[in-house]
Amino acid sequence: MEQIANNNLPDRFDTDQVKNRNLGLELVRVTEAAALSAGRWMGKGNKEMVDQAAVDAMRHALDGVDMNGTVVIGEGEKDEAPMLYIGEHIGNGNPPDVDLAVDPVDGTRLLALGLPGALAVVATAERGSMYSAPPGVFYMNKIAVGPAFRHVIDINAPVAVNLDRIARVRSAHIDDLAVAVLDRPRHQELIRQIREVGARIRLIGDGDVAAAIQAAMEDYTGIDVMMGIGGAPEAVLAAAAIKCVGGEIQCKIWPRTEEEREKFKADGIDLERVYSTNDLVSGDDVSFAATGITTGEMLDGVQYFGWGARTSSVMMRSRSGTVRYIQARHTWKTKSIK
């Protein structure tokens, strides 16, 4: 069963949306493959096998996608990642030429421990339009919101100011708001400031891609804003989805230590620069797909049966603004268990 979020189509619906091939639908098959393979390792405590299963399945599935893709966000450099490494050419070589961002498992630890919220994620955009962080940059400070708040947030403003602006747009009180924050020691001061002004907090163990998307999607009213420090590659993946739904993410490079700060400065990296959604993904034709591996607030996880499995996915496209929720039934080709 496929549910289309914006199925109340206008009288002058652009027929090009129908005629043009939707790469996002092909990407769903890729995330489904990764989720089906990695989901077998749920709760078994082996993060390495979780990641390997997802990478192998995702790489194999990408071979059949009609595109000429280059991995911009992947598993690392070639010498440390045999597949889905940065710079690897993906797809069958046919047009379109695209940048590719992948996270075979967003929430590897969650899946290994059998915890909620692990996803398989893929995004594409026009060639040369995805941000690639400088070498050695692993983290960014982030704030992400939905379309209604995109023009009022400022990552350089105090926490209280951003929350007050969001509350005013919502015609709400600050204590009505819910803020998603990664549960990390580095966020103790951020959490203190949020509590001080009275907003509610939803701590997340891992996977800030999903949290940023939920904050940006109007369907998910449980989270109003995501704040805090997370992975730089995850910022680009989140930006791809956020661009599809019209939200906004702002980020700044975050050094982990004073030594790292000085190194970044010596390398000419501007630590005061604010990266917006369009800085992270500048293309106009962005596709995003994610499949749930373990059940979370955003998507249901993989369910296995003797005859096959069920998956739950979301697909987004910036050109049309379409968001599709796809419930798929996969039947094994081998004989069923008796």
Domains of the chain: 23-127+285-331 (3.30.540.10), 139-280 (3.40.190.90)
- DSSP per-residue letters across 114-177: T-TT-EEEEEEEETT-B--PPTT--EEEEEEE-GGGTTT--TTS-HHHHHHHHHHHTT--GGG-
User: Tell me, what amino acid is at 61?
Assistant: A
Which residues are known binding-site members for Mn(2+)?
51, 75, 103, 106, 234
- Residue 264 pLDDT exceeds 80: yes
Which residues are known binding-site members for substrate?
106-108, 139, 184-186, 206-208, 231
Angstrom distances, CA of residue 8 to CA of 4, 12, 13, 256, 327: 9, 12, 10, 47, 20
> What does residue 140 show for φ and ψ, rounded to 5 degrees?
-140, 145
Of 235, 243, 250, 182, which Cα lies nearest the Cα of 217? 243
Identify the pLDDT of residue 178.
Answer: 95
Secondary structure of residue 13 in the 3-state scheme: coil
β-pairing verdict for 323-331 and 2-4:
antiparallel
Q: Is 281:275 a contact under the CB 8 Å cutoff?
A: no
pLDDT tier at 220 (50, 70, 90 boundaries)?
low
Identify the pLDDT of residue 9.
Answer: 41
Q: Is 227:142 a contact under the CB 8 Å cutoff?
A: yes
- Residue 90 pLDDT exceeds 80: yes
pLDDT tier at 207 (50, 70, 90 boundaries)?
confident
Q: Which residues contact 183 (CB under 8 A, 6 or more apart)?
A: 203, 204, 205
Q: How far is 254 from 33, CA to CA, in rounded Å?
A: 34
Whether residue 96 is preceded by a cis peptide bond, meaning omega within 30 degrees of 0, is yes
Q: Is 132:299 a contact under the CB 8 Å cutoff?
A: no
Which residues are known binding-site members?
51, 75, 103, 106-108, 139, 184-186, 206-208, 231, 234
Half-sphere exposure of 198 (CA within 13 A, CB side): 8
Q: Give the number of other Cβ atoms within 10 Å of residue 90's Cβ.
A: 24
Q: What is the mean pLDDT of the chain?
A: 90
Among 133-142, 160-169, 213-222, 294-303, the range scoring the smallest mean pLDDT is 213-222
- Residue 219 pLDDT exceeds 80: no
Q: How far is 281 from 268, CA to CA, in rounded Å?
A: 22
Task: Tell me the average pLDDT across 79-85.
Answer: 77
